[in-house]
Structures are given as structure tokens and as C-alpha cells.
Amino acid sequence: MRGNASKRIAIERKINPLNDNAWNSPSETTPESYFDSLYETDPELTRIERSIREHGMPEISVEPGYGRLLTLLVAATGARSLLEIGALGGYSGLCLARGLPPGEGRLTSLELKPEFAALASRNLAEAGYGERSEMIVGPAADSLAALEAEGRRFDFFFIDADKENYPVYLEFAIRLANPRAIVAADNTLLRGRTLNPGKQGPAVLAIREFNKAVASDPRLVTAHLPSYDGLLLAMVKGEA
């Protein structure tokens, strides 16, 4: 029994986001790093990561494992109209666009900063998706309101922008969703701060509100994935 207890403790040390040593130490092999090591380096995504670094932008793109999951989900659900809230340098945008059927579907990305939007657009074009993607620059809430006024509807949403507005973006996503649309949102753990009652910053409070809201919203079927920095997956049951 002692051996089983030791094994359990070792696993908890690796996956507990409140354990700084387990979370940050490069000497620790985590489940995430193990599975990531099984995949070959992706030249296009590596190029995008390099461009983000060269432009001095924050290196906060979606984790590789969740990027692969986004591609899988778009492909498996047959989504044709994709809406990304927060483009950064185009890493997640490419992961989403790769799930579209050949020659069909479109990615719409919202990005606050013009310089980020320009790089993301260029990276998507170089990857072959320039004609099937559009970039809308400005505050996401304003862009979402404009899309709603235009009567736009989407099959898949990916939220990875300013955390304080996640609850706002969720409501827009539900209103803009086609029936059975998927909503995915990154960083629901905020590097463990979401779990720490001593953390009370605006981003933490907003993510806690967001996590609680999606768990109890009758319009959604939801699941929270605890790997990496946390990912919310939800399906909109029908029109809001």
C-alpha cells in the first residue's frame, strides 16, 4: 500500500497547479510534456511561434496539445464558420483553420491590437488560409456587437483574450451560435490562481465567474479540462 500512496503523491505533485515546483521545473516530466514529445515538430506552427518572438509579442499562444484538440474538434463537428476571440500571432487561428474541410469554411478572428492582427493575417496567408480568413481589429465586445447586428452566426468559437471579459464573450458566443455550436476557452486555471483563494485580482475573479457560469448554464453542455492551463469546452444546445 505504501507504494501506491507514493505513486499517488508523485502524480499529484506533477499535476497540481498550486505546486510551483511541479508546475515550473523543467526537470519534471508532466503528462502534458510526455504526450507533446510524441509528436513531430510542426514547421508552420514553429514559424508562427518564431515570428511572435521576433516581433516582441507575448509568447502566450495556446498550448500545442490544445491546438491539436482545436483542429480535431473543428474537423469532427463539421464546423464551417469559426470565430476566434483573440488572434495574437495566428497560432490558434491556424489550428482552427486546419480543421475546416478543403476549400470550405471561413475563420473570423477578432484582435484588439493592429500590429498583432497584421502578423496573424500574414501568418495565416503564408500557411495558405489568407482567402478563407478575415481579421477584425478593435475591442472584441464592440466587434461582437457588430457581428450580432449583422446577423452573423458561427459553428465554433475559441476564446483566448482578456480574461476580465470572458463572461461577456460567453454571452455573445451563445447569442451568435448556431444550434450545437462549440465554445472553447483557454486559460481557465490562470496558472493555478483560479484555485487559490488568496488571489482576488480582476482576471481571477472574472475567470471564476466564467467557470461557474458555464457549469450551471442550462443553455450549455460543458466540460472543463484541467491539463495545461485549463480549457473549457461547451456545446450550445440551441438558439438562445
Same domain, 120 and 67: yes
User: Positive or negative, the Cα torsion across 58, 52, 156, 130?
Assistant: positive
Sign of CA dihedral 81, 87, 89, 92: negative
Does pLDDT of 207 surpass 70? yes
Q: Is 32 found in the same domain as 58? A: no
β-partners of residue 81 are 106
The answer to whether residues 28 and 137 belong to one domain is no
Same domain assignment for residues 139 and 232: yes
**pLDDT recorded at residue 28:** 77
* Same domain? 155 vs 196: yes
Do 167 and 211 share a structural domain?
yes
Whether 9 and 116 share a structural domain? no
User: What is the per-residue pLDDT across 31-81, written as a single tens digit (0 to 9) for each?
Assistant: 999 999 999 999 999 999 999 999 999 999 999 999 999 999 999 999 999
Task: Give the mean model confidence (pLDDT) for residues 159-173.
Answer: 97
Residue 10 and residue 91 share a domain: no
Together in a domain, 7 and 63: no
Domain match, 15 and 104 both: no
Confidence (pLDDT) at 84: 99
Of 9-18, 116-125, 160-169, 220-229, where does mean pLDDT reach its minimum?
9-18
> Distance between CA atoms of 85 and 115, rounded to whole angstroms?
16
Q: Which residue has the cell 505546486?
A: 19
Same domain for 198 and 94: yes
Q: Report the DSSP pairing between strands 81-85 and 106-111.
A: parallel
CA distance 42 to 68: 11
Measured distance CA(22)–CA(4) in Å, rounded: 19
Q: What is the CATH number of the domain that holds 227?
A: 3.40.50.150
The range of the structural domain enclosing residue 20 comes to 2-36
Amino acid 190 reads L
Q: Are residues 210 and 228 in the same domain?
A: yes
- Residue 157 near residue 85, CB atoms below 8 Å: yes
1: pLDDT strictly greater than 50: no
Confidence of residue 12 (pLDDT cuts 50, 70, 90): very low
Yes or no: say if 184 and 160 are a contact pair by the CB < 8 Å rule: no
Please report the pLDDT score of residue 239 as a whole number.
54
The tally of domains found in the chain comes to: 2
* % pLDDT > 90, the chain: 85
**Mean pLDDT of all residues in the chain?**
90
Cell numbers 460567453 correspond to what residue? 170
